[in-house]
Amino acid sequence: MSPTIGKDSASTTIIDRKISLAIEGLKHYVENWLRIRTSNENALTISEYILLLRREINPSQNYTISQIQALVELSEYLKHKPFKQMKPEDILSFLDKFRKTEEKDPLHKWIGTYNLKREILRQFFTWLNDPDTDRNHRSRPKIMENIPQFKRKEVSIYKPSDLWTQERTETR
């Protein structure tokens, strides 16, 4: 699937080309994420994933940026450990960094961030585990087994004071 990652100019050209294709049409800072903030091997894997996503589902720019951001954060957090060498404990450790105490986050907003990152990683590792199978027929990878999704404790994160009333609308 991926060419051997080395320091020769041919592999560097392949990596550069795939990164350029993956970030086409995205904000400039996304290029820095892939070229500076992560290893060549992980940047290539992320780029291949994004290119496949574009063929399969034609994602929005924001969706694509969210995918890249989460994967680069994971790579950085694990000191650029290759994605194929990651273990469930690595994923849990990364996701645990989004947890917050009741004191710091009484409305449990961290749960939304945790669940979003978890879902992005689930989709990515499902592809990484079985890249040649159709998107709808890939099996759940072992690395994502037993990684829980949490339910919000609040029905809504909004307080009554956050909502506009008729009275507040008329005074504006």
**Could you give the 3-state DSSP secondary structure of residue 13?**
helix
Query: Could you read off the pLDDT of 110-121 as tens digits, one per residue?
Result: 999 999 999 999
Whether 81 and 46 have beta carbons less than 8 Å apart is answered as: no
Whether 62 and 90 have beta carbons less than 8 Å apart is answered as: no
Question: According to the model, what pLDDT value does residue 23 have?
Answer: 95
Nearest to 38 by CA among 54, 23, 59: 23
Whether 51 and 18 have beta carbons less than 8 Å apart is answered as: yes
Spatial separation of the C-alpha atoms in residues 94 and 19, rounded to whole Å: 24
Query: Could you read off the pLDDT of 138-160 as tens digits, one per residue?
Result: 998 999 999 989 887 766 667 77
Name the region of 85 (left: φ>0; alpha: ψ -120 to 50; beta: rest): alpha
**How many CB atoms lie under 10 A from the CB of residue 46?**
26
Q: Which residue has the tokens 């072992």?
A: 142
Q: How far is CA 98 from the centre of its chain?
A: 13
Question: According to the model, what pLDDT value does residue 11 have?
Answer: 74
Domain boundaries, the chain: 9-156
Half-sphere exposure of residue 134: CA atoms within 13 angstroms, side-chain side: 2
Question: According to the model, what pLDDT value does residue 3 have?
Answer: 41
pTM score over 0.75: yes
Phi first, then psi: give them for residue 165, nearest 5 degrees: -105, 165
Nearest to 80 by CA among 113, 14, 34: 34
Query: Could you read off the pLDDT of 18-61 as tens digits, one per residue?
Result: 999 999 999 999 999 999 999 999 999 999 999 999 999 999 99
Angle, helices 28-35 vs 9-23, to 10°: value is: 150
**How many CB atoms lie under 10 A from the CB of residue 19?**
21
Q: Which of 26-40, 60-74, 75-89, 150-164 has the lowest mean pLDDT?
A: 150-164
Which has the higher per-residue pLDDT, 10 or 70? 70
